[in-house]
A and B are shown apart, each in its own frame.
Chain A
Amino acid sequence: MAHRAYVRVLVDVDEIGQVQPVKIYWEDGRCFEVDRLLDVRRAASTRAGGQGMRYTCRVRGRAVNLFEDEGRWFVEARDVPARR
């Protein structure tokens, strides 16, 4: 299962209002640069729940779904199994 991990995002907004995520800041302080924007569309997150504009980005060679839901941004983060 996955959950919605809300993140801080640096975005670039061009003169016609198009939004492009540039950097994603993880909660532990790490910063991930968006190498390329692959796709933008409205979508529901089937893995983590929630709905919004889905920005599919290439980050460090992997496709990452970044959602913008009413001004807040989240990624689908894998649930970490509880340690015994």
Chain B
Amino acid sequence: MRTILHSDLNNFYASVECVYDPSLRHRPMAVCGDPEARHGIVLAKNMLAKQAGVKTAEAIWQARQKCPDLVVVAPNHHRYLRFSRMIRQIYAEYTHKIEPFGMDEAWLDVSDHPMGGEAIANELRLRARQELGLTLSVGVSFNKVFAKLGSDMKKPDATTVISADNYRERVWPLPVGALLYVGPATRRKLAARNLRTIGDVARCAPETLRTALGKSGDMLWCYANGMDRSPVMELGESMPVKSVGNSMTTPEDMRSDPEARAVLLALSENVADRLRAKGLRGREVCLWVRDCELRSFTTQCRLRESTALASEIGRSAIQLFRCHYRWEKPIRSLGVSVSMLESEDSDVQLSIFGEADRVRRYELEGTLGEIRRRFGSTAIQRASILEGGYAATLGSVEACGTRFME
């Protein structure tokens, strides 16, 4: 039987900040984005803030309403990356099968290690505390889903073992939402069939779940019965990229076509640079729009030929935007992504006309991308981006944007 650990660094960003300023441990604190750039939401909070009701992803003003003494700290991503790398170095002393799940979580397959899962989990917690000043919650089990569930059961700084002998007592009474990949929509569908706990799901007929949820019903039934057999990937091994995208929230709402056009062009340029860097091109362009009332939608279109050209991606994104947005409300954020990816070396159907021109444009955009990579994103820009009046912000689109798909 396999031994899988799921290790979760507790309140990661907030804990790293507390390492550098121990006085924050005794005050409610939250790491928050920059309110000036309209990224003013809670990214992480410490236990005291959590006890006061502060929640991740809520706005700073909402958090302050619940907790007037809240200390707000700006994020330091470079530092978080460094801590994430260090904890992985520690994991690597026990196994090479390490599958990161975000910056602060990872699965470890320690089946071949003589120490045993629980002892390794306890040692990892001790080392994280002593070497990094952070606490870990570790779930130990015989599959990834239960290991993840275990790490969520007891926080902070705890080891939870879910074995083949005890999973019925420990896991089945839990609400079904505790299971990995069960979100609010799935929960609602299951509740409509009176399936409220993981045990309810495990005991019901697989056909019932299939009717309710399709193929993922079978998957869920297997998860609930401890039959998840998915392997822990080795470090460096990764899932193939399905799409490459970028989105951004502008400092002020966009209110006109030229503004939106400039943002879409800048995003497309960034997406094209990243596609080229990965040696990919794609056939589908997806647009994401979020208005000032935080309502959002996505829409996509297929291209005749796959592309990694910013001009073609941008043109499609602008076309989609013009077809689907009527300016009922100002816009807060826009995103562009490209999917249906293939390697840039794969065979393509050449067009009789204009192929030489495409090759030239590809080379030209490659050179522009290289200039931006070497000298900064504002080193060279399209004149059309300047039209929107966001030149400075868009210049650093990579820094501002959050990848909404990859």
Interface residues of A (CB under 8 A from B): 41-46, 48-51, 70
- List the interface of chain B (C-beta within 8 A of A): 19-22, 82-83, 86, 129-134
State A48–B19 Cα separation when bound (angstroms): 9
Query: When the two chains form their complex, are residues B133 and A41 in contact, meaning their CB atoms are under 8 A apart?
Result: no
Decide if the interface of chain B is mainly helix, strand, loop or mixed. Answer: helix
A3 to B45, CA, bound (A): 23
Chain B nearest CB from A3 CB (Å) reads 10
A42 touches B19 (CB 8 A): no
Is there contact, CB below 8 Å, between B21 and A44? no
A43 neighbours in B (Cβ, 8 Å): 130-131
- Chain B residues with CB under 8 A of A51: 19-20, 83, 131-133
Q: From DSSP, what is the main secondary structure of chain A's interface residues? A: loop
Give the 9 A-B CB pairs with smallest separation, nearest first. A44-B133, A49-B22, A42-B131, A49-B20, A51-B19, A51-B133, A44-B19, A49-B21, A44-B132
A-B contact pairs, 27 of them (CB 8 A): A41-B131, A42-B131, A42-B132, A43-B130, A43-B131, A44-B19, A44-B129, A44-B130, A44-B131, A44-B132, A44-B133, A44-B134, A45-B133, A46-B22, A48-B22, A49-B19, A49-B20, A49-B21, A50-B19, A50-B20, A51-B19, A51-B20, A51-B83, A51-B131, A51-B132, A51-B133, A70-B82
Closest to B16 in A: A51
Closest Cβ of chain B to A24, distance in Å, is 22
Tell me the complex Cα distance, A40–B34, Å: 38
When the two chains form their complex, are residues A42 and B86 in contact, meaning their CB atoms are under 8 A apart? yes
Number of A-B contacts (CB under 8 A): 30
Assembly CA distance A41 to B134 (angstroms) = 16
CA distance A50 to B22 in the complex (A): 9
Closest chain-B Cβ to A69's Cβ sits at a distance in Å of 9
Residues B131 and A46 in contact, CB atoms below 8 Å apart: no
Expressed in whole angstroms, the minimum distance between the Cβ of A39 and any Cβ of chain B is 12
Kindly state the separation between the CA atoms of A29 and B342 in the bound complex, as whole angstroms: 63
Complex CA gap A42/B132 in Å reads 8
Most buried by B among A41, A43, A51, A70: A51
Give the one of B86, B129, B133, B134 with max A CB within 10 A. Answer: B133
Residues of A within 8 Å of B134, CB to CB, are 44
Specify which chain B residues have a CB less than 8 angstroms from the CB of A46 in the assembled complex. Answer: 22, 133
A11 to B379 alpha-carbon distance, docked (Å):
40
Interface centre among B19, B82, B83, B129 (most CB of A within 10 A): B19
Question: CA A48 – CA B22 in complex, angstroms?
Answer: 7
Complex formed: what's the CA distance from A44 to B21 in Å? 12
> Closest residue of chain B to A44, judged by CB?
B133
- The smallest beta-carbon distance between B84 and chain A, in angstroms, is 13
Nearest-Cβ distance from residue B211 to partner chain A, whole angstroms: 52
CA distance A48 to B21 in the complex (A): 8
Measured CA separation A44–B86 after assembly (Å): 12
Q: How far is the CA of A41 from the CA of B82 in the complex (A)?
A: 17
> B133: nearest residue on chain A (CB-CB)?
A44
Nearest neighbor of B128 in chain A, beta-carbon distance: A44
Give complex CA distance A50, B17 in Å.
Answer: 9
Task: Give Cα A41 to B132, complex, Å.
Answer: 11
Q: How far is the CB of B24 from chain A (nearest CB, A)?
A: 9
Give the nearest-CB partner of B83 in chain A: A51
CB distance from A1 to the nearest CB of B (A): 8
Q: How far is the CB of B133 from chain A (nearest CB, A)?
A: 3
A41 vs B90: C-alpha distance when bound (angstroms): 13
